[in-house]
Amino acid sequence: MDIDGKRIISVDDLSDGDVNRLFFHAHSMRDQKCIHDDKTLKNAVLMTAFFEPSTRTRLSFEMAALRLGVRTLAFHALSSSMAKGECEHKTITNLLALQPDILVIRRDSPFELPLVYKTTASIINGGDGVNEHPTQALLDCFTLLDHFRCDSLRGLRILIIGDVAHSRVAHSNIKLMSRLLAEVWTLTPAHWQVNLVPEHRRLVSFADVPKNIDVVMCLRVQKERLLDAHAFSEQIFSKDYCLTASRLDGLGNNCVVLHPGPINLGAEIAADVANHPRSLINEQVKNGVLVRAALIKHCLS
């Protein structure tokens, strides 16, 4: 297949027009109640190379590809030649030499690999360290546009609670939600705040949260990325920031709940909140397949 490869490393790599088209295609696939097996895609191969653990993202890409009729090939680091000492850079060189049409990569640090900018394959970032997770932000925003039945997030007040500093999900979401005109607030200890959000919307205490929050997103604490992990106390964090049912009640009567997963029940979100009628967590997972199918088509077009 002759493909002019795309690079989707950040949400900034997608124009407003691209984002609208992706959402439009994801919607039409859902309305038609199936992701059409597209004959023109049947010779394409999507490869996944996850150098960090994943449940949702890798399977969601693979499910989206399979539903489209695109074949998939998964690289597994643990059973690969990396176990014989080969480095990640050389491993990726090899994967690209196999000439997949799309390579989805997840790694523990930001993309600065010149080799992924040279290839003709499309490269999709499945999460790179603390930097970005563009497809998670796309599916989260799609879920909100769909739930609120609107074309933009204008007028919606979104509160992101938890480890904002180390969350690539938060970084991509703050950028994309702001582009879609949402009012984004963060609630986290001062040392986990980021300047992607205006200072007056960076909160450290539940007591300061404004009324009428429309959306709350809980984040897992990224313990694997904390420099002072030994000093972190889950008990203290949960006391101050875990989203309990009574705290959810205080946010607003119609406030919906998002969580990108993986979920640590009782740490950042209580079990009854994760399973609450206003929780959109399963919708996020379902919509992830649609949005990623639309992105795969975009890359192969």
Residues binding ligand NCD (CB under 6 A):
56-57, 127, 133, 136, 168-169, 220, 260-262
CB 187 to ligand NCD: min, Å? 17
**Cβ distance to ligand NCD smaller for residue 44 or 171:** 171
Token pair for 269: 């979100």
Tell me the CA distances in angstroms from 233 to 101, 219, 242, 267, one per residue in order: 44, 16, 13, 10
CB 288 to ligand NCD: min, Å? 8
CB 253 to ligand NCD: min, Å? 28
Token pair for 135: 């497809």
CB 252 to ligand NCD: min, Å? 25
For the chain, state the CA radius of gyration.
19
**Cβ distance to ligand NCD smaller for residue 41 or 130:** 130
**Cβ distance to ligand NCD smaller for residue 23 or 50:** 50
Element (H, E) at 73: strand 71-76
Give the residue nearest to ligand NCD (CB).
220
Distance between CA atoms of residues 236 and 241, nearest Å:
9
CB 4 to ligand NCD: min, Å? 27
The H-assigned helical ranges of 190-262 are: 234-241, 245-251
**Cβ distance to ligand NCD smaller for residue 140 or 214:** 140
Distance between CA atoms of residues 22 and 187, nearest Å:
30
CB 285 to ligand NCD: min, Å? 9
The interaxial angle of helices 16-31 and 281-300, nearest 10 deg, is 110
Distance between CA atoms of residues 136 and 56, nearest Å:
10
**Cβ distance to ligand NCD smaller for residue 56 or 278:** 56
- Strand 45-50's sheet: what is its strand order? 7-8, 122-128, 102-107, 45-50, 71-76
**Cβ distance to ligand NCD smaller for residue 72 or 136:** 136
Give yes or no for a contact between 177 and 214, defined as CB atoms under 8 angstroms apart. Answer: no
